[in-house]
Amino acid sequence: MLYCVGTAALGCPFERRSVWNCHPDWSLSFPMGMRGGVEGPAVSAHATDFMRLLFQRVLYTLPVIWLVVSLVFLLIHLVPGDPIQQMLGEGAPPADIAATRHAYGLDAPIGQQYIHYWKGVLRGDLGPSFRYNQSVTHLLTQRYPYTLQLTLASLVVAIVLSIPAGVRSAQRRNRWDDRLLSVVSLFGLSFPNFALGPILILLFAIKLGWLPVSGAGSFANLVLPAITMGGALAAILTRMVRTSMLEELSQDYIRTARAKGLPEGTVVYRHALRNAMIPIITVLGLQFGALLAGAIVTETIFSWPGIGRLTIQAISNRDYYLVQGCILAIGLTYVAVNFLTDVLYSVANPRIRQ
Q: Sketch the domain layout of the chain as residue ranges.
A: 3-38, 136-353
The enclosing H or E element of 172 equals none
Helix axes of 320-348 and 39-78: crossing angle, nearest 10 degrees: 160
Q: pLDDT tens digits, residue range 178-216?
A: 888 888 888 888 888 788 888 999 999 898 888 888 888
Left (φ > 0), alpha (ψ -120 to 50) or beta: where does 307 sit? alpha
pTM as predicted: 0.72
> Could you tell me the fold of the domain covering 136-353?
MetI-like fold (1.10.3720)
More confident residue, 132 or 19: 132
pLDDT at 27 > cutoff 60: no
> Rg of the chain over CA atoms, in angstroms?
26
Query: Which helix (DSSP H) or strand (DSSP E) does residue 23 occupy?
Result: strand 22-23
At 352 the pLDDT is 56
Question: CB–CB of 310/262 below 8 Å?
Answer: no
Over range 81-97, report the average pLDDT.
72
Residue 12 has pLDDT above 60, yes or no: no
pLDDT recorded at residue 124: 83
Select, from the ranges 139-143, 332-336, 344-348, the one with the highest average predicted confidence (pLDDT).
139-143
For all residues of the chain together, what is the average pLDDT?
77
**Least-confidence region, from 69-78, 157-166, 236-245:** 69-78
Ranking 7-21, 50-64, 178-192, 295-309 by mean pLDDT, the lowest is 7-21
Within the chain, residue ranges assigned H as helices are 39-78, 83-88, 94-103, 110-123, 136-171, 176-190, 193-200, 219-249, 252-259, 264-265, 273-275, 277-301, 307-316, 320-348
